[in-house]
Amino acid sequence: MTILNIMNSPVYDTSIESIEVHSYKPYGTSFNTNDEIRIPINQQDLYVLPSESTLYIEGVISIQNIETKQTVSSIQLTNNSFLYLFQDIRYELNAVEIDKVKNTGITTTIKSLLSFSDHEAKMAKAWGWDLNGTKCKGSFSASIPLCNIMGFAEDYKNIIMNCKHELVILRSNNNMNAVKLNTGDFVHDIQINKIVWRVPHVKVSDREKINLLKYLEKDRPIQLAFRNWDLYEYPLLPKTTKHTWSIKTSSQIEKPRYVIIGLQTNRKNNVQKDMSQFDECDLRDVKVFLNSTYYPYESLNVNFSKGQFTLLYEQYVRFQQSFYGRRPEPLLGLEEFRTRAPLFVIDCSRQTDNLKTGPVVNIRLELESNSEIPDQTAAYCLILNDCIIEYKPLSSIVKKIS
């Protein structure tokens, strides 16, 4: 295409006739703590776009004061509070698990802190994202994009055809991590009254439909490639300055690309503290070992008390460029990073040949701090790893490639 091509006619894309959003409701009507909520799409002759789907919820929060027994009118919610109401969320295709997010609140909080820019954070207020928390007058509603909940929806942008879909949601065993209360207040109840999965259906032109049906008849395998968000928790770190944590053994295809580590001291199930924030715990260095290869190559030698954490912040800033291939627009400034989310972001996306030839990859962490880890400190490790699922639309066979 040059400036001399004056005879070219305009080209319009008419392959898609319409995109309509359809609402799907769960089997049951009970959304209490520990309940499993299943939202199915049983009709198979559809072109579904899960990456643009959203999870819509409505409910009521009741907070009371112990002494007065009166209901508190204005309730302080934590950042990302509504996703702390769910323990696990998984996506199934033809009854086979495609992707699963464990400990949904913490996982999505860490991932969003790394991924969001300022304007994305403003849009995310529709589902309760606010670094300072939000106020609630009793009733609430939220529309949460699935692409902000799991890696499959974030990375795989194409339609899925001729399959049964199901979103399976497990409610948390309590509601305490979703709120931050004053002394004397307690959570009387957080009741979800409505959950709807809003999924776009794509209607294509007749020509595209014929092409897709021809592909369907051949029953060729279709690959779904994405990066899974895999969270691991060490609920109580020992009081020591050095600790080794053997996390998992993964296959070659599922080898980790990014490892993010954050610590929290006495925040879980503590309504006096904000569950969406992380603590320094005087952590000095983190090393990620993939078999015998370690990342980063040089020690960071962080010292928060002396203000020596700019290299750690630099790793946080570079995540967006490395993960998304875009110019970094970090959500947190330097001081906000220190006070709200001093995360260790380890980029191990480029790997040596000896890692590519072995049958498995053993993942191990070495944590080192300047002083003893405080009591009641939990460690969270979010691993972003490759995942490939293959499905055949005619025979309905779904399998993970490993």
Mark whether 219 and 360 lie in a shared domain.
Answer: no
| Domain range for 38 | 16-224
Residue 141 maps to which CATH number?
A: 2.70.9.10
Count up the domains in the chain and report the number.
2
Q: What is the pLDDT of residue 248?
A: 85
Give the pTM: 0.93
**Residue 46 and residue 99 in one domain:** yes
Pair 54, 166 in one domain: yes
Q: Residue 353: helix, strand or coil by DSSP?
A: helix
330 shares its domain with 380: yes
Please indicate, yes or no, whether residues 91 and 184 belong to a single structural domain of this protein: yes
Query: Which of 81-85, 310-314, 394-398 bottoms out in mean pLDDT, i.e. has the lowest?
Result: 394-398
Q: Give the model confidence (pLDDT) of 202-257 as tens digits.
A: 999 999 999 999 988 888 999 999 999 999 999 999 999 999 999 988 776 677 89
- 82 lies in the same domain as 140: yes
- Domain limit, last residue, from 172, 201, 224: 224
How far from the centroid of its chain's Cα atoms is residue 5's Cα? 46
Domain boundary among 154, 189, 224: 224
Q: Kindly tell me if the per-residue pLDDT of 353 is higher than 80.
A: no
Using one digit for the tens of pLDDT, what is the confidence trace for 152-181? 999 999 999 999 999 999 999 998 898 887
- DSSP codes, 181-218: --TTEEEEEEEEEEEEEEEEEEEE-HHHHHHHHHHHHH
Q: CA-to-CA distance for 396 and 389, rounded, in angstroms?
A: 13
Same domain, 212 and 247: no
Q: Verify that 243 and 270 share a domain, yes or no.
A: yes
Q: Mean pLDDT across the chain, nearest whole number?
A: 90
Asked if residue 361 and residue 283 are part of one domain, the reply reads: yes
Complete DSSP assignment for 46-58: -EE-GGG-EEEEE
Residue 262's pLDDT band, with cuts at 50, 70 and 90, is very high
CB-based contact 50:141 (threshold 8 Å): no
Q: Comparing 47 with 271, which gets the higher pLDDT?
A: 47
Confidence of residue 185 (pLDDT cuts 50, 70, 90): confident
Domain stop point among 224, 249, 278: 224
Question: Can you give the pLDDT at residue 1?
Answer: 56
In-domain check, residue 297: yes
Mean pLDDT of 185-214: 89
Identify the burial level of 179 via C-beta atoms within 10 angstroms of its C-beta, where 0-12 means exposed, 13-18 middle and 19 or more buried: buried
Q: Tell whether the model's pLDDT for residue 74 goes beyond 60.
A: yes
| Separation between Cα atoms, residue 179 and residue 187, nearest integer Å | 8
pLDDT range class, residue 361, cuts 50, 70, 90: confident
What CATH code is carried by the domain that includes residue 355? Answer: 2.60.120
